[in-house]
Amino acid sequence: MPEKLTPWARGRPTLEDTNVFIRSFTRLNVYLYSKPPSRTAKRINRAFMTLNIQLYRRSGGRILGRFGRLDAMLITTTGRRTGKERTNPVGYVYDRGRYIVCAAPGHFDVPGGPTATQPAWYLNLTADPRATADIGPERLPVTARILEGDERERMWRRFTDVLPFMNEFQKRVQHRLPVVELTPDDLTPRPL
């Protein structure tokens, strides 16, 4: 049975089985994600995102190809309103030929303030599940599927084993964070 979601968890994140670096990184991120970004922070974030994408592509994923212990890819979706291609770096877990990603918002729910929204790349995938994934030097057409039930819970645990910070995100938002499976188009899809 899934754990009950709480709208806000106060206090320091608890990370029992991690090293000092991961605990410090998580606490810093909890602080940074505890309020919506300002306009300046959004501009800076966009500039770093653009740099991240360029460095990843030019190096074939050797630069910025990992988020700590989590492998990273670039996912290119079709904008649900604009129809333009949109690229974002995301961390993934590999599972039997498929790539599992988690849609974390840009900030936590803020008590008495704005609630966290789904990331644009996830909303784009709900409108059109076809995308392209840059994984290292490879570029693959993929199809997205939102995981539900036991399958979602199993993949969520695998994801949070690698990136414990996602547990803090889940505690501090009201909605259940989506877990998405990206299947390369040349791989036989799983039955629904």
DSSP string, 35-98: SPPPHHHHHHHHHHHHHHHHHHHHHTTSSS-EETTEEEEEEEEE-TTT--EEEEEEEEEEETTE
Q: What is the pLDDT of residues 102-120, one digit of tens each?
A: 988 766 555 555 566 788 8
Q: What is the pLDDT of residues 132-170, one digit of tens each?
A: 999 999 999 999 999 999 999 999 999 888 888 788 778
